[in-house]
Structure 1
């Protein structure tokens, strides 16, 4: 027994000295529709245990990421299973494996993505929201460390996307925009400079072009992260935690967005929020992404 305990202690010490760590990434769906998040590993890093799953509106899911991982995470929309062929496909963000899991296949543009490189130079994580290959869903990434900056593209870019880049489909007898292609695909009917300016104004924190390195952020390694789909339109870096309290619904959008960003910066508080979502969903309430005032119902 003593020998087994010493062996375990030695293994733990070796792992600690070698810097072997893992972090958690929690994906939160604040959209009012179902998403199918996916992950792609770059640079020969260790593949994640899951590369695709379903995430209903108001739900969250946590994945464990190994040390030194690098890759992309994104959301797929309007996915379905063909009952005749058995093929799984999505309108945007599809990886064309015919299955729920992407299994080493990258997404098909246009799609918003989170780019991450963990435990890189100087023991730093690097992360960014990228529209280099286009946009389909608003996204934000929030490090759970008080001195690190969040980043995001919170605007509904499809609504302001230049006509030459807009991807549309018929839905209930209407033509609706489902994605916005990369500015690098501008042709005769699209002004490149105009398109870049529109996207920079809509999402000033995001990488629009490949050389937008100033919109790549860093944080100390061994940091956990939240990735939010359809986040509120404003951000707040303050990570204080007000906790749950009973009271009347706040009517000021600014106040409710502030409360949201205070909560989301603390993991334990976020678990409480998700628990409350589950409670409300079981009671038949919906959780609309376009009304941040929901977060003040406490």
Structure 2
């Protein structure tokens, strides 16, 4: 096969594979990209909600100044968080000082974060709106921001860019001050946990502790019924979850007031790179083609003989 024919054949195969990866059974996909801007390695954890498929990983290492992306199907819901202070031996066995999921491994294998931990929660709408939020209901361990791209609607960025650990009250401090507990975790009282007689919006009100979290991070969930100013919506977007953002981006500083409740996330099929919903899929494919054309690689380097 001559060089041009070889490259053209590989190009067609690449386009077909990208298309199939993006349309799983006719369902459009969304891309989650995790970015670590912390001055240290973090180990993100991924927990799908019941009924949602697992993504390519349930937990992984993310070194400083690195990123990793996953593709999730429409309808996926679940949560993400970052584990810190982890110590895993070569066999992958170990634990983390904050956000540990209790699996004893890098993969969380269906287990959630031990509080306190900052959570990113998603529900991807099936042909409708996505819901997302950053929650401090289970406490806080590091700053986190969610930003959407390529979607329609309000699509505001949200999260917590402040280091709450530095101003955490002594009674909420966890460990060596590397995380800050919620009042529920620290005291276990129904009025703080919105449980028992306090399990409704009418009976569970903000506490002095949740108000402290809200003052520092006004767009994050501070207690269980903090929906009105903490849940955000967007349609057809891809999402970037940044740990330890150095500063709010211009988009992040123009938050809109959200409405309605959010949920968590989950998905299937891994991937990296840009999103692939709607009209953006066409532009993404053509961008890939353009980059591919300028690459001077023989077929043998592209998996063909």
Give the TM-score range, shorter chain. 0.5 to 0.7
Number of residue pairs the alignment of both structures matches? 222
Paired residue for 1:49? 56
Return the TM-score normalized by structure 1.
0.67
Secondary structure class of the residue paired with 1:164: helix
Gap change, CA 1:54 and 1:201, over 3 Å in 2: same
Structure 2 gaps of 5+ residues are: 1-15, 193-205, 254-272, 276-305
Residue number in structure 2 paired with 1:217 = 232
How much is the aligned-residue C-alpha RMSD, in angstroms?
3.2
Within 1, Cα distance between the matches of 2:97 and 2:41?
Answer: 13
Alignment of 1:57-96 (within 5 A): 57-82=64-89, 87-96=93-102
Specify which structure has the bigger relative contact order, considering alpha-carbon pairs within 8 angstroms and separated by 6 or more residues: 2
Taking the TM superposition and a 5 Å limit, the aligned residue runs for 1:1-298 are: 20-82=27-89, 87-120=93-126, 123-145=128-150, 147-169=154-176, 177-187=177-187, 193-214=207-228, 215-221=230-236, 223-237=237-251
Alpha-carbon displacement from aligned partner over 1:203-257 (angstroms, at most 9, x marks no partner): 1000011111121000003x11110001134342289xxxxxxxxxxxxxxxxxx
Q: Give the Cα separation in 1 of the matches to 2:207 and 2:53.
A: 39
For the residues of structure 2 that align with 1:159 and 1:109, how far apart are their CA atoms? Answer: 18
Return structure 1 stretches of 4+ with deviation > 2 angstroms.
15-19, 185-188, 191-194, 232-235
- Relative to structure 1, is the Cα distance of residues 220 and 181 closer, same or farther in structure 2, using a 3 angstrom cutoff? same
Given that 2:164 and 2:216 are in contact with CA atoms closer than 8 Å, whether structure 1 keeps it comes out as yes
TM-score, scaled to structure 2: 0.65
Structure 1 unaligned spans of 5+: 1-8, 170-176, 240-265, 269-298
SS at match of 1:123: coil
What is the rounded CA distance, in whole Å, between the counterparts of 1:65 and 1:267 in structure 2? 13
CA shift in 2, pair 1:114/1:17, >3 Å: closer
